[in-house]
Amino acid sequence: MDIFTLAAFTVAYAIAVLVPGPGVAAVVARALGGGFKGAFPMVLGILAGDLVYFVFAVFGLAAIAHWFGPIFVIVRWAGAAYLLYIAWKFWTAKPGAEQMKPKNEDPWRTFLAGFSLTMGNPKTIVFYLAILPTVIPLDQMNPVTFIELTAIVVVVLLLIGCGYAWLASAAREMFKSEKALGRLNKTAGAMMATAAGLVVLQH
């Protein structure tokens, strides 16, 4: 595929990822509460969800995504419930304890939270199943183009997602007192709860 089309897709996708939404709010909240390491599995989960929708769009599976809508609703509610659980853990954590990271936090569960969040995120659905076909001529798709576009999705999302996580984690390191950490912890909990609310309320 020509450079102009790839560049157009890169710009459109970067803007879609940069715009704050449930995913950004969840990643920032996770980084505020548990640092970069705690947020990275969520970034990977969001990436996995994006790749699923990308494959749906590329191989003409929009109709399947439409017919399996009720399943995505269930996934969205399950993801929102887990985000609320994390929010509660942050809100009630003891200031200064393990830098506010919930005990025994399983990276896989954080990954699945990010994945389910993306699978139920209307912004992601609209981009891949409605906007993507207007930017990329899917009828001209071939193995090389598929690899190129997949690489763009992976690199752009990881850079932006990890950028948000790093900035939030760096901001957290500026606060060392238990009182300040306690406020950050509650901020993380509030943001995570907000992300859960956005997931449920968006249609």
Q: State the pLDDT at residue 202.
A: 53
Q: State the pLDDT at residue 161.
A: 93
Please say if the pLDDT value at position 100 is more than 90: no
Q: Are 115 and 46 in contact (CB under 8 A)?
A: yes
In 3D, which of 127, 182, 187 has the Cα closest to residue 153?
127
Tell me which DSSP letter residue 100 carries: G
% of the chain surpassing 70 pLDDT:
63
Cα–Cα distance between 186 and 195 in angstroms, integer?
14
pLDDT tens-digit map of 21-59: 778 888 888 887 778 888 999 999 999 999 988 888 787
Burial class (CB within 10 angstroms; exposed 0-12, middle 13-18, buried 19+) of 12: middle
Q: Compare 65 and 126 and report the one with higher pLDDT.
A: 126
pLDDT tens-digit map of 128-161: 776 777 777 777 778 898 899 999 999 999 999 9
pLDDT tens-digit map of 69-85: 565 566 556 666 766 76
At 58, list the tokens: 């590329």
First to last CA, the chain: 34
In 3D, which of 42, 9, 11 has the Cα closest to residue 25?
42
Please say if the pLDDT value at position 108 is more than 80: yes
Cα–Cα distance between 40 and 101 in angstroms, integer?
13
Cα–Cα distance between 29 and 166 in angstroms, integer?
12
Cα–Cα distance between 8 and 89 in angstroms, integer?
41
pTM of the predicted model, to two decimals? Answer: 0.69
Tell me which DSSP letter residue 139 carries: G
